[in-house]
Structure 1
Amino acid sequence: MRCYADILRELREDADLTQSEVAAVLGTTQQVYARYERGVNELPLHHLQTLCRYYHVSADYILCLPRELQWPR
C-alpha cells in the first residue's frame, strides 16, 4: 500500500509543480516540504487541510484510507 508521502509526490508531479511551489502554498520551506515527501517528518493537520483544498482531493485519498470506511452513526 502506498503511503501518504508517495501521494504527496504524485499530486505535486501531476500538477507540474516544484517542491518550492507547494511549500509556498503551505507557508513553509522547500526543505521542510521535501521531508514530508520523503516521510521523514509527519504532515501537520493544517497542511493536510490546505493540500486537500489546493488539489481538490479528500484527506482519505492523501492518507490512503480505504473507500469502504463508514462514518460513525
Structure 2
Amino acid sequence: MRLRDLREDRDLTQKQVADFLSIKQNTYSQYENGVRQLPIDLLIRLSRYYTVSTDYILELTNVPEPYPQKAKKALIFA
C-alpha cells in the first residue's frame, strides 16, 4: 500500500493521520507497515482525505486521480 508515501508527500505524521481517522498512532503504524489489514471504511476515508482512488492506495493502479462521483438522480414523486 501507498499509505506511507501519501503521508510523507504531505509532510504529515502518523499521529496526525491517526487523529484524523480517530484511531491510535500505533494502530495506524500497523496499517502502514502491513502488520494489520486496513478496514474498508478507513481506506475510503483515506482516499477522500488524500483525494486519490482506493485503487491507487492499494497499488492496483499508478493513476492517483479519484474516480468521478456518480450524479444522484432526483426523486420524482407522482
For the aligned pair, the TM-score class normalised by the smaller chain equals: 0.7 to 0.9
Higher Cα Rg: structure 1 or 2? 2
Q: TM-score scaled by structure 1?
A: 0.81
Identical-pair percentage: 53
How many residues are treated as equivalent by the alignment?
62
Match of 2:60 among 45, 62, 65: 65
Match of 2:34 among 21, 28, 39: 39
Which of the two has greater helix per residue?
Answer: 1
Q: TM-score scaled by structure 2?
A: 0.76
- Once superposed, which parts of structure 1, at least 4 consecutive aligned residues long, lie more than 4 Å away? none
Whose RCO is larger (CA < 8 A, sep 6+)? 1
**Aligned Cα RMSD in Å?**
1.0
Q: Which runs of 5+ in 2 are unaligned?
A: 63-78
